[in-house]
A and B are shown apart, each in its own frame.
Chain A
Amino acid sequence: MKKRIATVSLAGCFGCHMSLLDIDERLLDLLELVEFDRSPLNDLKRFTGPCDIGLVEGGCCNEENVHTLHEFRANCDILVAVGQCAVMGGLPVMRNAIMHAEDPLRECLETAYLDSDYVLNPTNSIPNDPALPLLLDKVYTLADVVKVDYQIPGCPPSGETLWHTLDALIAGRQDRLPYELIKYD
């Protein structure tokens, strides 16, 4: 039976998803072995049922991310943190440590939307539409929020690294990354 895989990008840049496309023609091999459930790759927005493997890119920067992550944990037997953002917060986590700021989140938003010389914002306000997910006080890693079974480092992990890991996970094989595939950048 084909394994069911779900994927999502939380506080990530989609680079990790793009990297999956770098496995090139092996995508066809992958489709022989797996069926995609909820994923931006097929635009399915909800789980249709339980999955074997959940691949999560990005950490949690807003309440919707946390909600989605809990859904993934509940629906996936194996949850994999994919890329530095999911593993340790990645670039978004920089906002947790803005130098000397009393209130790093506010300072970050003010710089992004009000104060920067490169901003044109006629309303001079920070976006506050009720439809926007509420930002968290800081950026959290996946492991801060749920139990993570495996993590794949890299920004993004190369297609080769993703293939190596998926191939082992799908076959249920214990494996480790060879030296040249372990990268934190």
Chain B
Amino acid sequence: MAETFTFSLDGGKISAHPGQSIMEAADAAGVYIPRLCDTEGLKPQGSCRVCVVKMNGRTVAACTQPAKADSVVESETPEILGYRRDLVRMLFHEGNHLCPICEASGRCELQAMAYRLGITQSTKYPYLQPVRPVDASHPDIVLDTNRCILCGRCIRASRDIDGKNVFEYVGRGIHKKVGVNGDNLADTNVSIDDRAIHLDICPVGCIIQKGRGFFTPIGKRQFDLAPIGGEEKGHEE
């Protein structure tokens, strides 16, 4: 058994062992820290910043920051919830999120995060309304990056689990998007059985399995039943 140490998270004591991230230690202790680009089974990349916490007063990404002995970590404070709301809002404004017509609605982690954070009121941000092509070339799969939040989960799953590299980032800055390794999806060696295509990899509605449609009735969908991350917290806006 490796040596363990403790740190405080919102006043509670969390134990961790060397090399564990704040997120891993919190997960092991059953304390949820919100996240979008991080998910079980993939290497963390710390890009969405929704898991932002303060460690000894400095903002860090909980999914990539190693836990430190005796550090003081804050997560569900008004300041940090404000950052998370702004981050999530910007994702809604950067892409085209027409939830009423989206197959992921009700099981979408972005939408669920907005619900958890209690986002109902309007923002100062403009809607960018990008125009990105929809790739329906493949017989079983559609890729609609108008809803992409650039979490890279498809990229990591395809590369690290499927060993295929079907998806990759292309472009930089505001022009950065997810592309495929070929002219279109039909041109790649992607398969409906790939881990990258599994419904729990894309947190939003970009990677769509054809022929399934709206398969769970409204009211019975994952986040109709319970908030993402379990018991809600930090709901005041």
Given A94-B98, A97-B96: A177 in contact with B120 (beta carbons within 8 A): yes
Encode contact with A along B111-140: 1 for CB under 8 Å, 0 otherwise.
100111011111000010111011000000
Say which residue of A93, A141, A151, A183 sits within 8 Å of B98 (CB atoms). A93
Does B120 lie within 8 Å of A84, measured CB to CB? no
Instruction: Give the residue among B99, B120, B146 with the most A Cβ atoms within 10 A.
Output: B120
Residues on B with beta carbons closer than 8 Å to the beta carbon of A185: 99-100, 102, 105-106, 218
Does A182 lie within 8 Å of B118, measured CB to CB? yes
Does B235 lie within 8 Å of A176, measured CB to CB? yes
A113 to B140, CA, bound (A): 32
Residues on A with beta carbons closer than 8 Å to the beta carbon of B235: 176, 179
B44 adjacent to chain A (CB < 8 Å): no
Does A184 lie within 8 Å of B105, measured CB to CB? yes
A100 adjacent to chain B (CB < 8 Å): yes
A53 adjacent to chain B (CB < 8 Å): no
A153 adjacent to chain B (CB < 8 Å): yes
Does A96 lie within 8 Å of B100, measured CB to CB? no
Name the CB-closest residue of A to B123. A143
Kindly list 19 other residue pairs between chains A and B, CB separation below 8 angstroms, not including A96-B129, A152-B120, A182-B115: A88-B127, A90-B98, A90-B100, A94-B98, A94-B101, A97-B129, A97-B146, A148-B122, A151-B121, A151-B122, A176-B118, A176-B235, A176-B237, A177-B120, A182-B119, A183-B115, A184-B99, A184-B111, A185-B106
Does A179 lie within 8 Å of B227, measured CB to CB? yes
Residues on A with beta carbons closer than 8 Å to the beta carbon of B106: 185
23 contacts between A and B (CB under 8 A): A81-B122, A84-B98, A84-B100, A88-B127, A94-B98, A100-B131, A143-B122, A153-B120, A177-B118, A177-B120, A179-B115, A179-B118, A179-B227, A179-B232, A179-B235, A183-B115, A184-B97, A184-B99, A185-B100, A185-B102, A185-B105, A185-B106, A185-B218
